[in-house]
């Protein structure tokens, strides 16, 4: 029931906070009975339990030294969703966006909207009392929780819900822990009601999560005769799993408004933006979100977010993303117009674009939601520990509060990221401090004290939505006062006398600087590498990039490609975050395992090297490159198996097989042949290896040359990779014919390898040799300004990516120049589409994009190239196909490969059996053929058919 192996424990040693604590073990309950058994076991064996779902907490709530209870893997069911009553009954592992996709079928939604909605889960939202961008309209999770089914600290089950007077009296009479909780809590609140009233933050602050929510219970009956019914669910919200374990909850859903608009006022100064927020709130917005220049600058370097900057006018220092919602579109448009006019009259801001297109509004919010991950991924020079990033004051107090906060920053000679929920007086403030130095750590501790004093001055809340956890709990006494600490402790002991549930959070915390992931004691990795790691600085710097935000934990239905194996398995070790955390732990410290780590090799086993993390991860973690470096080191230390070398030997094997392609193909599909391939080379017998073409491309090209090739001043190098040459020669000929039709003289280089298989399998020295060879041959093309065009995205894009890391310093200028002259076939067609001849009527084609192309250049060039040839293109939001080069052919990976294909790609293609399928990737086409017995076409072949 509890997994205690080293890999699992290290995977769960951290969340999205600045803390790291290796637990005793991890449990994955499947139902409430499993939770009860775990609690009973904890009582018997004296260990603690820390509940966790997605692990995106920023205050360290989901780290602990006992057993981590992860509900995300199995307890993820929507038990019921009733349209009439507008109630959803869910398990704690249900993702917020998954719930809203189902609720959206009835025009309903669960209102709280954190930046992590595509992976955060209801259990965690209850624990933190999450709220998010739309809290001015929907408030917090607390306002939407009707009932909670919970396991108490003695293993018993209790159902918490609103109670009428008679029901409350009945609860008090129960002769069990639940009855004790009701009796004791009512007495405690009655005894301390005056203290609670004067100690807690201002009631006008919607988001106030400091301590336990005793002030909310005071608003209820019997303490307020006109108040709502007594409901301990409101106490459990924000209790961070310290009082009870959530097994299920009933949530109220709200109707969705028919229309929405986004207005984005843009400012030169923070003071302007803060003053503008006060005015904007008067227009009853659904959200007002501040984004600052640090985050906006970070979007420039993120492939995924660059395209979401379309609405920015010039280079604003601050923007307020403001959403208006309602059922009268004309009224919203008038309100949006008037809002901009009001700000302009008051000289607040210089631009006020109104955005009404649904896709464009989504892109604006995607940029906002990426903010946290982006700023957490600024690298060692932009470290911004999350020690004070959740303060909340009244909206009208924001301008003054921010001015005083800036004075603290100036005093300590640092600056700060300002972003988030201006509509409700909560800004996520992230001072940049390097806590890996003694001076930096001391600065953080002093500033934490001073900021807590400032929050108290404005009668604010130290935590608005992220909770106290480990990082803010030491300062609760400053906000609520010393007298409240014994009261909070009594709450804890009423519910959990033995401190089984998540000890050290809210009550009796460790010092703020205990168990830090990065501190002056952190020993940076210093391993020899083959890649130069120019962008990151070093492998050690790359290992520090992951911030735990967990974007890699989103599921396939949320869109995107990262991380395909996690989408299939839902195991933390198969997420980019999980792998990155293990990477850092095994390479750092006094006695690192480094390249000999069995744990890391296991964690990397299902990494498809799809590169989606390179673009979709806000911190730009490049796990494909990290895996290649590790596997290279592993081979140096441990040696390499024949099955690992098989595909990297393609340059030697393919020429031999192509001598008698018919015989080679017959052997490959025969039972004896499949047995040999499976047992010697690890190729799953259920796969058909790609057949060898009757004639190679080069054979066909020689014949073409004898018939006379086009001579022109416009020249292009067509890079024919091994797979095109030996397996799909026709695609090479189609591409050549298209280029000649466009008026280009086509040059075919000798080289057919860029080292892609070698890189994927971790044979970097061989890849480095290939890099040197290709650079030497292609130098004359580059110096003459002749573009290099490739058909297989992963091969040609290696020239733009890994070549820059594999070349030596002397070769780098040439490699950089080659990178600028290298294009996918579709990119080149798009850039020269005026040369495409007139085409006939439009035909529909379904496009499945290649992972590397999506990560480095996007699908747009392929769409534009096909459209220029007369096709109507539907881009399938399919993520990874699951084949990923050799990955899907390997016996150990076949099942996962098929599972990934079944996530989106296979079902999408089954839905549409009539339209043609386009897949630029060699392995993608073969996955579609193996999985669906359906042919997919390369863009070159489709374009050739259309224009020749």
CATH number at residue 889: 3.40.50
Determine the 3-state secondary structure of 878 from DSSP.
coil
b/e code 245-264 from CB counts within 10 Å (16+ = b) = bbbbbbbbbeebbeebbbbb
Residue 424 has what DSSP assignment? G
Q: Are 713 and 790 within one domain?
A: yes
pLDDT digits (tens, 9 = 90+) for 745-781: 999 999 999 999 999 999 999 999 999 999 999 999 9
Domain presence at residue 68 = no
pLDDT digits (tens, 9 = 90+) for 29-55: 999 999 999 999 999 999 999 999 999
Q: Are 266 and 327 within one domain?
A: yes
Mean pLDDT of 229-255: 98
Q: Are 844 and 818 within one domain?
A: no
Task: Encode 754-793 in three state secondary structure.
Answer: CCHHHHHHCCHHHHHHHHHHHHHHHHHHHHCCCCEEECCH
Q: Which of 804, 831, 858 is the last residue of a domain?
A: 831
Q: Which of 337, 360, 377 is the last residue of a domain?
A: 377
Under the banding of pLDDT at 50, 70 and 90, the label for residue 375 is low
CB neighbours (10 Å) of residue 870? 17
Domain presence at residue 878 = yes
* Residue of 49, 4, 13 lying closest to 498 (CA atoms): 49
pLDDT for residue 526: 86
Domain presence at residue 929 = yes
Domain presence at residue 20 = no
Instruction: Kindly tell me if the per-residue pLDDT of 100 is higher than 90.
Output: yes
Split into its structural domains, the chain has a count of 4
pLDDT for residue 446: 97
Domain presence at residue 419 = no
Query: For residues 710 and 746, is the Cβ–Cβ distance under 8 A?
Result: yes
Under the banding of pLDDT at 50, 70 and 90, the label for residue 377 is low
Nearest-angstrom CA–CA distance, 635 and 629: 10
Percent of the chain with pLDDT over 90: 88
Mean pLDDT of 877-901: 95
pLDDT digits (tens, 9 = 90+) for 775-826: 999 999 999 999 999 999 999 999 999 999 999 999 999 999 999 999 999 9
Q: What separation, in Å, do the N-terminal and C-terminal C-alpha atoms of the chain show?
A: 64
Nearest-angstrom CA–CA distance, 512 and 839: 67
Under the banding of pLDDT at 50, 70 and 90, the label for residue 102 is very high
Mean pLDDT of 360-381: 73
Helix locations, 821-875, DSSP H = 825-831, 851-856, 860-868
User: What does the longest C-alpha to C-alpha distance in the chain come to?
Assistant: 100
Residue 360 main-chain phi, psi, to 5 deg: -70, -40
Q: Are 717 and 773 within one domain?
A: yes
Query: For residues 544 and 381, is the Cβ–Cβ distance under 8 A?
Result: no
b/e code 522-552 from CB counts within 10 Å (16+ = b) = eebbeeebbbebeebebbbbbbbbbbbbbbb
Determine the 3-state secondary structure of 906 from DSSP.
helix
Mean pLDDT of 674-697: 95
User: 359 vs 362, 556, 904, CA distance in Å?
Assistant: 5, 19, 21
Q: Are 796 and 892 within one domain?
A: no
Q: Are 759 and 804 within one domain?
A: yes
Q: How far is CA 915 from the centre of its chain?
A: 32
Q: Which of 356, 377, 398 is the last residue of a domain?
A: 377
Nearest-angstrom CA–CA distance, 562 and 676: 34
Residue 467 main-chain phi, psi, to 5 deg: 90, 170
Domain presence at residue 620 = yes
pLDDT for residue 310: 92
Q: Are 867 and 808 within one domain?
A: no
Q: Are 687 and 824 within one domain?
A: yes
Percent of the chain with pLDDT over 70: 98
Instruction: Kindly tell me if the per-residue pLDDT of 839 is higher than 90.
Output: no
Where is average pLDDT lowest: 63-77, 137-151, 413-427? 413-427
Q: Are 682 and 788 within one domain?
A: yes
Q: Are 678 and 809 within one domain?
A: yes
Average pLDDT along the chain = 94
Domain presence at residue 502 = no
Domain presence at residue 635 = no
Higher pLDDT, 381 or 624: 624
CATH code for the domain in which residue 359 is found: 3.30.70.2190
pLDDT for residue 305: 82
pLDDT digits (tens, 9 = 90+) for 509-520: 999 999 999 999
pLDDT for residue 192: 98
Mean pLDDT of 184-206: 96
Radius of gyration of the chain (CA): 30
Q: Across the strands, what pairs with 250?
A: 89, 147
Query: For residues 309 and 299, is the Cβ–Cβ distance under 8 A?
Result: yes
Instruction: Kindly tell me if the per-residue pLDDT of 840 is higher than 70.
Output: no
Q: Are 710 and 763 within one domain?
A: yes
pLDDT digits (tens, 9 = 90+) for 407-439: 999 999 998 888 889 999 998 888 999 999 999
Q: Are 665 and 717 within one domain?
A: yes
Nearest-angstrom CA–CA distance, 219 and 214: 9
Mean pLDDT of 288-294: 91
pLDDT for residue 301: 74
Under the banding of pLDDT at 50, 70 and 90, the label for residue 589 is confident
Under the banding of pLDDT at 50, 70 and 90, the label for residue 620 is confident
Structural domain range at position 744: 648-831
pLDDT digits (tens, 9 = 90+) for 638-657: 999 998 899 888 899 999 99
Nearest-angstrom CA–CA distance, 555 and 543: 24
Under the banding of pLDDT at 50, 70 and 90, the label for residue 373 is low
pLDDT for residue 708: 80
């Amino acid at each position: 029931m509890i997994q205690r192996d080293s890999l699992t424990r290290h995977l769960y040693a951290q969340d999205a906070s600045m803390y790291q604590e290796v637990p005793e073990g991890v449990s994955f309950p499947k139902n409430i009975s499993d939770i009860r058994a775990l609690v009973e076991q904890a009582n018997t064996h004296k260990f603690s339990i820390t509940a966790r779902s997605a692990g995106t907490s920023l205050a360290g709530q989901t780290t602990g030294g006992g057993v981590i209870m992860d509900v995300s893997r199995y307890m993820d069911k929507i038990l019921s969703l009733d349209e009439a009553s507008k109630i959803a009954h869910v398990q704690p592992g249900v993702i917020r966006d998954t719930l809203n996709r189902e609720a959206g079928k009835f025009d309903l939604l669960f209102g709280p909207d954190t930046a992590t909605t595509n992976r955060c889960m209801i259990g965690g939202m209850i624990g933190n009392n999450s709220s998010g961008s739309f809290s001015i309209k929907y408030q917090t999770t607390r306002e939407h929780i009707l009932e909670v089914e919970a396991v108490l600290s003695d293993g018993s089950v209790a159902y918490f819900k609103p109670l009428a007077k008679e029901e409350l009296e009945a609860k008090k009479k129960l002769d069990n822990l639940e009855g004790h909780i009701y009796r004791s809590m009512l007495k405690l609140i009655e005894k301390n009601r005056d203290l609670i009233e004067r100690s807690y933050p201002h009631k006008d602050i919607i988001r106030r999560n400091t301590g336990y929510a005793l002030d909310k219970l005071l608003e209820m009956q019997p303490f307020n005769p006109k108040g709502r019914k007594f409901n301990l669910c409101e106490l459990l919200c924000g209790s961070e799993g310290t009082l009870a374990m959530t097994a299920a909850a009933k949530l109220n859903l709200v109707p969705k408004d028919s229309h929405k608009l986004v207005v984005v006022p843009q400012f030169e100064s923070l003071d302007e933006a803060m003053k503008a927020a006060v005015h904007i709130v008067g227009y009853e917005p659904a959200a007002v979100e501040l984004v600052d220049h640090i985050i906006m600058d970070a979007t420039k370097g993120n492939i995924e977010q660059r395209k979401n900057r379309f609405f920015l006018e010039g280079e604003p220092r601050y923007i307020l993303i403001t959403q208006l919602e309602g059922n009268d579109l004309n009224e919203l448009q008038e309100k949006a117009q008037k809002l901009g006019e009001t700000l302009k009259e008051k000289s607040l801001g210089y631009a006020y674009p109104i955005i009404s297109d649904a896709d464009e509004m989504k892109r604006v919010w995607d940029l906002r939601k990426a903010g946290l991950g982006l700023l957490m991924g600024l690298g060692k020079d932009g470290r911004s520990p999350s020690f004070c990033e959740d303060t909340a004051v009244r909206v009208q107090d924001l301008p003054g509060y921010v001015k005083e906060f800036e004075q603290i920053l100036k005093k300590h000679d640092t600056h700060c990221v300002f972003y988030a929920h201006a509509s409700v007086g909560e800004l996520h403030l992230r001072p940049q401090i390097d806590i890996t130095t003694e001076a930096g750590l001391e600065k953080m501790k002093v500033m934490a004290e001073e900021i807590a004093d400032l929050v108290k001055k404005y009668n604010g809340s130290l935590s608005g939505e992220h909770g106290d956890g480990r990082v803010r709990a030491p300062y609760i006494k400053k906000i609520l006062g010393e007298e409240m600490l014994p009261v909070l402790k009594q709450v804890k002991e009423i519910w959990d006398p033995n401190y089984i549930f998540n000890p050290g959070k809210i009550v009796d915390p460790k010092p703020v600087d205990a168990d830090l992931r990065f501190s002056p004691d952190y020993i940076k990795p210093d391993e020899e590498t083959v890649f130069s790691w120019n962008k990151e600085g070093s492998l050690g710097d790359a290992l520090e990039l992951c911030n735990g935000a967990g974007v890699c934990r989103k599921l396939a239905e949320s869109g995107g490609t990262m991380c395909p194996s996690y989408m299939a398995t839902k195991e933390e070790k198969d997420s980019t975050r999980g792998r990155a955390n293990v990477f850092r732990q095994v390479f750092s410290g006094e006695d690192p395992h480094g390249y000999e780590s069995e744990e890391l090799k296991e964690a990397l086993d299902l990494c498809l090297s799809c590169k989606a993390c390179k673009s979709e991860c806000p911190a730009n973690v490049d796990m494909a490159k990290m895996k290649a470096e590790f596997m290279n080191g592993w081979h140096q230390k441990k040696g390499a198996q024949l099955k690992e070398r098989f595909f990297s030997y393609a340059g030697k094997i393919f020429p031999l097989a192509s001598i008698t392609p018919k015989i080679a193909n017959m052997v490959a599909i025969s039972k004896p042949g499949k047995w040999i391939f499976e047992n010697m080379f690890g190729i799953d017998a259920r796969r058909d290896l790609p057949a060898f073409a009757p004639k190679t491309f080069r054979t066909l090209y020689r014949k073409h040359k004898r018939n006379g090739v086009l001579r022109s001043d416009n020249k292009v190098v067509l890079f024919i990779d091994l797979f095109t040459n030996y397996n799909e020669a026709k695609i090479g000929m189609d591409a050549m014919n298209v280029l000649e039709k466009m008026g280009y003289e086509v040059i075919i280089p000798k080289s057919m390898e860029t080292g892609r298989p070698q890189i994927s399998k971790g044979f970097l020295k061989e890849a480095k040799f290939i890099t040197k060879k290709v650079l030497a041959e292609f130098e004359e093309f580059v110096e003459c300004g002749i573009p290099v065009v490739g058909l297989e995205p992963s091969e040609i894009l290696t020239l733009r990516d890994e070549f820059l890391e594999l070349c030596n310093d002397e070769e780098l200028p040439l490699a950089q120049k080659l990178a600028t002259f290298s294009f996918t076939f579709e990119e080149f067609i798009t850039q020269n589409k005026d040369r495409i001849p007139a085409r006939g009527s439009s035909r529909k084609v379904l496009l499945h994009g290649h992972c590397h192309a999506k990560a480095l250049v996007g699908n747009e060039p392929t769409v534009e190239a096909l459209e220029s040839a007369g096709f109507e293109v539907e881009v399938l939001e399919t993520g990874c196909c699951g084949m990923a080069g050799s990955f899907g052919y390997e016996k150990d990976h076949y099942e996962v490969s098929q599972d990934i294909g079944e996530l989106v790609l296979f079902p999408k293609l089954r839905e549409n059996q009539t339209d043609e399928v386009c897949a630029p990737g060699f392995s993608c086409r073969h996955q579609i053929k193996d999985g669906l017995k359906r042919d997919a076409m390369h863009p070159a072949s489709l374009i050739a058919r259309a224009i020749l």
